Copies of this chain bind each other. A is one copy, B any other.
Amino acid sequence: MNFDEAGVIAALARIFGSSQRGVEIGIGDDAAVVKTTDRTAITTDIAIEGTHFNTHWSSAFDIGRKVTAANLADVYAMGGSPKFLVAAVTLTGDESMEWIEDLAEGIAHEASSCGVYVVGGDLAKGPCKVVSITAIGQVDVAITRSGAQVGDSIYISSLPGWSAAGLAIIEKDLESDIALHAIAEFSAPTLDYSSAVQFSNGKATSMCDISDALVIQAEQIATASGVQLQFEKDLISAHPEFGTLSELAQSVGVDVWQWILAGGEDHVFLATGKELEGFCIGTVRAGAGVTGVEMKKAPDTWRHFQ
């Protein structure tokens, strides 16, 4: 082991900060105590070495950012504002102090980009690295998956598929700017959280983030709302990034639609409503399921049971 436990705790307390608005009791007691209103969103995401991240591919900073982003996105996707998070981490003991600090800084960086504070956590030794984060946030009006209405349009906040593209090419020697962008998105996606707020403000009738793949989550909205989501491939392929993503897919012999429809881990927001500020990809109709697109192969991930 290259570090002592007291040193790790002290470093975490320093990185996560002690003066935090809305935090009555932060790191240093049995539990944190925070100010809340009458409706709180709570969500959790776990990432384990070998499945969700790999220290050869991703920096500790990116790993911290990615798991944090997954949690923050889930709170935004409910129409909420994330406020606080706790992080439970297992380490093998082989990590350098610098690696651990980078991990904590990645978590703190992504959290603070949304004004969210890290208020506590747990640290343990184990046979592999695990980062498990729980975020809580304030919700005034919850936007669920069940409110899509016939006649609504379907919107995405950005084009999904970049994370899947990054995963597909990470071990190839592609050094173009586009390839590096895809790898960066896989390592730690850049989330435009404000797009979820825009969907909420625009009175989206349903919303989710599509961390489990666009088609799967669209099917969840269709089922929960009792409607059919009709995608238009022409609309999706008119997205400004479609061309560059297609080129990348061609260069590695992959169908770009597989990345877009079944990719997963993008944390793009999918919403339904009228005249929302987003990229329109179809319409909500009477019926069931998702039409207009075909997913050739389901992604090999397990689903959130949130």
Contact = CB atoms under 8 A, between A and B. Distances in A.
Contacts of A80: 31, 33
Given A51-B125, A144-B25, A305-B122, A41 B31 contact: yes
Contacts of A120: 42-44, 305-306
A27 interface: yes
Contacts of A224: 28
Given A27-B305, A126-B48, A38 B37 contact: yes
A32 B306 contact: yes
Contacts of A12: 305
Interface stretch (A87-95, A161-169, A287-295): A87-95
Contacts of A75: 30-31
B39 A306 contact: no
Given A42-B119, A122-B306, A130-B46, A30 B209 contact: yes
B88 A302 contact: no
Interface residues of A, number: 75
Q: How many copies does the complex hold?
A: 2
Given A125-B302, A130-B132, A25 B90 contact: no
A275 interface: no
Interface stretch (A134-142, A180-188, A246-254): A134-142
A61 to B, nearest CB: 19
A86 B85 CA distance: 13
Contacts of A28: 145, 224, 306
Given A25-B78, A78-B29, A123 B305 contact: yes
26 contacts: A27-B306, A30-B78, A30-B208, A30-B304, A31-B78, A31-B80, A33-B39, A34-B40, A36-B37, A36-B39, A40-B40, A40-B136, A42-B134, A43-B86, A44-B87, A44-B88, A46-B89, A46-B122, A46-B124, A46-B130, A48-B124, A49-B127, A88-B132, A122-B306, A123-B302, A127-B127
Interface of A: 5, 8-9, 12-13, 24-25, 27-52, 73-75, 77-78, 80, 84, 86-90, 119-128, 130, 132, 134-137, 139, 142, 144-145, 207-209, 224, 301-306
Q: In the A-B complex, list the 5 residue pairs whose CB atoms are closest, starting with the nearest.
A: A48-B126, A31-B43, A132-B132, A46-B88, A134-B134
Given A44-B87, A128-B128, 11 more contacts: A5-B302, A24-B142, A29-B78, A31-B135, A32-B42, A34-B40, A43-B86, A46-B90, A122-B306, A125-B302, A127-B128
